[in-house]
Amino acid sequence: MDAATKFALLAVLILGVVIACAKPLGKYIAGVMEGRDTFASRMGGPLERLIYRMCGTDPSREMSWSHYAIALLSFNLLGALVIYGLQRLQPWLPLNPQHLGAVSADSSFNTAVAFTTNTDWQGYSGESTMSYLTQMAGLAVQNYLSAATGLAVAVVLIRGFIRHNADRIGNFWADVTRASLYLLLPLSIVLAIALVSQGVIQNFDSYKEATTIEKLTFDNPKTDADGNAIKDDKGNAVTESVTTQAQTLPMGPVASQESIKELGTNGGGFFNANSAHPYENPTTLSNVLEIAAIFLIPFALTYTFGRMVGDTRQGWALMAAMLVLFAALATTAYVSEQKGNPSFAQNGVDSQATSMQPGGNMEGKETRFGVAASALFAAATTATSCGAVNGMHDSMTPMGGFVPLFLMQLGELTPGGVGTGIYTILIFAILGVFIAGLMIGRTPEYLGKKIEAREMKLASIFILTTPTVVLAGTAIGVVTQAGVAGVANPGAHGFSEILYAFTSAGNNNGSAFAGLSAALGQSDAPTYQLSEEPLPPAPPPDDRAVVAEALRDRPDVVAERLARESAAKFADAEHALWFPTVSALGAAGVVPYQQAGLTNPYSAIGVNVSVPLTNGHLFAARHSEARLRALGEEQHLRDLENRVARDVRVALLDAQTGLQRLDLTGQLFDQASQAQDLAEARYNLGLSSIIELSQAQLNKTRAEIEQASARYDYQARIAALRYQTGALK
């Protein structure tokens, strides 16, 4: 099965499941939000009424649009304050096994606003910044409430279409409660259980320390007593070489936050790597579940809209428009990523899909997902307001990176976030109906509502606000020092990083071209430089020592040798059954009876000799079987030793060849470096053109790539040799 077929099947599977669920789930959402009697309301009714009593609200008392807006803004402002307070007071609150300190004021404010608005922009690393309490009581709770708020706004807009001459649009507290209690919470519990079954962790344990197989050597910035980086006279960070074999594995209640992160199209990850982290998204099935969860509610809301307005065809039409746009753009992203980087092909790098590699542009992608699932996830997370990522968007090809950027700039309406997608596409529908009405000379009307100047002004403000914010922010970012300080890549790609950041923030997405620091202007952040591990020693020229070592230390050879010895001893024991057995029996004592002529003491001894003359050839058969088994084990041992000796000799020859290739590529690199120096000297003297210098630089780059490839190949072959000799277990 080729890569394109796999992508098509994956997309059809996910979208097919989502579309199949759209009607029943959309019907259920309509019933819940309209307050109808459903199975869920009968089960959760007592809890719902308890919440209303605790909050002192009457769900039957509807609000005007102004009161509804005030309630919405006040509620979310309170949520932002709670998140801010949890971060600032974190060191003194429970469920902080790593004793993480208080989050800085600016980062706390950024995070509080991001999670309240469903943007979930993260300028921090979750596993090293947030305690379990902050993650659960702050971020996860707001994931529910921000999604419920978006759904409430969408339902209010739909009520505006279906109600005539009414100054009441519903009760905000009832809408948010029902959306959270009857929709988001049950779906999140089901998805969390499914994710746990795939390996997503859910615990309150302290972080674990693991010992790695290989040592890691890196340059670590030195810090003073206050934890600030020490710099030299030139302002550069002073580093020291550190070697470690320890790795810290973060723990935490991940599955419960991962489920609402996707279902609520929030996107904020428990870990810094988000859904690329194996504790958040460990398997192919978990990846499929997460993409489907992102789409589930937004697509279902199209049917909810059609059902509430009394014409389901309207909902199906909106869904069809969303699907066409998404399918076209997702396919564009996949094709671009699967073709790979053309510059690699020019340098001899094979990026074609084969049985040994997925092919395409695999930079920044998880190998367990590959190009197809990564491209589909990137399109899904930016077609909605989710922003979760299972790969680095910054590493995508130019056209592949354009797709998520364009999907966000469309307004995230294919299908958009929970609530936000449906009301955004309805605004565009109003605009389209108005333009079509003007073209045919009829009064524009949608669902029985006339679209006049006031409606168009409001729709225009809605449509133009986000582009204005994005473009103004980008303009400020590219002309100020603080704006460009966090850019990791100069030139056009650096501009794309800034544009992507403001597009993501302005459209409530939260994903990023990762080269841009989330906190713009943080240019003095500590940097880490990895140093190469020293090459292993050269393989021995003679194979006798390594073969002897393998025959002595290989676990499979040792096990087979013990099996042979056991079989031989068992055969000897079976043969010994033919030998005669001799047994002796003796007795002695004193008779208490007294009589003349009889002695009281007595003693006796007897000898029994048993000779197995015949037993139906049982012993002969058992001895023959044991002897044949011993011979078989002996033959197995000889065969294994021959195979091991052969494999060791082949591995040794491969290692010697790898060393020769490493030496050769080193010589070629030295020659290419000398040729580049000569070309630079000739160019500086005006004796050659820029073409000759560029060719010399290209040759040096190719030689460096070949040397790095030979170095990796040599290390792999040495590891294979160590494995064959039993040194690497």
Specify the DSSP element, H or E, that contains 449: strand 449-450
The predicted model gives 578-585 an average pLDDT of: 77
Q: How far apart are CA 504 and CA 470, in angstroms?
A: 9
Question: Would you state the pLDDT for residue 1?
Answer: 67
Specify the DSSP element, H or E, that contains 402: helix 398-409
Expressed in percent and rounded to 5, the helix, strand and coil fractions of the chain are: 60, 10, 30
- DSSP state letter for 273: T
User: Which residue in 104, 94, 214, 164 sits closest to 716, CA to CA?
Assistant: 214
- DSSP state letter for 585: E
Burial class (CB in 10 A: 0-12, 13-18, 19+), 372: buried
The domain locations on the chain are: 3-207+250-506, 209-249, 544-583+608-725
* Cβ within 8 Å of residue 64, ≥6 positions away: 167, 168, 169
The predicted model gives 273-292 an average pLDDT of: 94
Cis check: omega of the bond before 541, within 30 degrees of 0: no
Q: How far apart are CA 273 and CA 275, in angstroms?
A: 6
Residue 261 — φ and ψ, nearest 5°?
Answer: -60, -40
SS3 219: strand
Strand order in the sheet with 208-221: 239-249, 208-221, 529-530
The two tokens of residue 683 are 């160019």
The two tokens of residue 525 are 């952040």
Of the two residues 303 and 363, the one the predictor is more confident about is 303
- Residues 221, 239 contacting (CB under 8 angstroms): yes
What sign does the CA torsion over 352, 353, 358, 361 have? positive
Burial 130-146 (b: 16+ CB within 10 A, else e): bbbebbbbbbbbbbbbb
How many Cβ atoms from other residues are within 10 Å of residue 359's Cβ? 19
Residues in the chain: 729
Q: How far apart are CA 491 and CA 621, in angstroms?
A: 85
pLDDT higher than threshold 60 for residue 430: yes
pLDDT higher than threshold 70 for residue 524: no
pLDDT higher than threshold 70 for residue 526: no
* Cβ within 8 Å of residue 327, ≥6 positions away: 11, 15
- Residues 302, 319 contacting (CB under 8 angstroms): yes
The predicted model gives 383-408 an average pLDDT of: 91
Of the two residues 585 and 307, the one the predictor is more confident about is 307
Q: Which range is least confidently modeled, 367-381, 480-494, 512-526, 617-631?
A: 512-526
The two tokens of residue 408 are 């966000």
490 HSE (CA, 13 A, CB side): 0
- pLDDT tens for 387-398 read 899 998 888 988
Q: How far apart are CA 442 and CA 427, in angstroms?
A: 19
Question: Would you state the pLDDT for residue 599?
Answer: 63
Helix axes 420-440, 141-162, angle to 10 degrees: 30
Q: How far apart are CA 648 and CA 550, in angstroms?
A: 8
pLDDT higher than threshold 60 for residue 525: no
How many Cβ atoms from other residues are within 10 Å of residue 575's Cβ? 16
* Cβ within 8 Å of residue 411, ≥6 positions away: 424, 428, 463, 466, 507
The residue ranges of DSSP E strands in 492-617, in sequence order, are 529-530, 581-590, 601-610
User: Which residue in 717, 602, 705 sits closest to 654, CA to CA?
Assistant: 717
Residue 318's pLDDT band, with cuts at 50, 70 and 90, is: very high
**Amino acid symbol at 88:** R
Across the strands, what pairs with 219? 241, 529
Of the two residues 6 and 237, the one the predictor is more confident about is 6
**CATH number belonging to the domain at 544-583+608-725, selected among 2.60.40.10, 1.10.3720.10, 3.50.50.60, 1.20.1600.10:** 1.20.1600.10
The predicted model gives 100-109 an average pLDDT of: 92
- The overall longest dimension of the chain from CA atoms, in Å, is 151
Q: How far apart are CA 499 and CA 118, in angstroms?
A: 20
Q: How far apart are CA 263 and CA 268, in angstroms?
A: 12
Q: Which range is least confidently modeled, 26-40, 148-162, 602-616, 637-651?
A: 602-616
Question: Would you state the pLDDT for residue 38?
Answer: 80
The two tokens of residue 347 are 């340098």
- Residues 383, 407 contacting (CB under 8 angstroms): yes
Average pLDDT, the chain: 86
Question: Would you state the pLDDT for residue 250?
Answer: 93
The two tokens of residue 311 are 């014409």
SS3 335: helix
Residue 135's pLDDT band, with cuts at 50, 70 and 90, is: very high
Identity of the highest mean pLDDT range in 178-182, 450-454, 607-611: 178-182
How many Cβ atoms from other residues are within 10 Å of residue 70's Cβ? 13
Question: Would you state the pLDDT for residue 83?
Answer: 95
Percent with pLDDT over 90 in the chain: 40
User: Which residue in 660, 604, 22, 642 sits closest to 297, CA to CA?
Assistant: 22
**Amino acid symbol at 539:** P
- Residues 721, 546 contacting (CB under 8 angstroms): yes
Q: How far apart are CA 233 and CA 243, in angstroms?
A: 26
Specify the DSSP element, H or E, that contains 244: strand 239-249
Question: Would you state the pLDDT for residue 522?
Answer: 46
Q: Which range is least confidently modeled, 259-273, 306-320, 623-637?
A: 623-637
- CA torsion 323-328-330-335 (nearest 10°) is 160
SS3 198: coil
- Residue in this structure with the two tokens 């599955």, named with its chain if needed: 255
Q: How far apart are CA 169 and CA 159, in angstroms?
A: 6
- pLDDT tens for 551-571 read 888 888 888 888 888 888 888
Residue 519's pLDDT band, with cuts at 50, 70 and 90, is: very low
The two tokens of residue 519 are 């906190």
CA distances in angstroms from 113 to 274, 332, 407, 569, 599, listed in the order given: 19, 33, 23, 77, 113
- pLDDT tens for 53-90 read 998 889 889 999 899 999 999 999 999 999 999 999 99
- pLDDT tens for 141-175 read 999 999 999 999 999 999 988 887 668 889 999 99
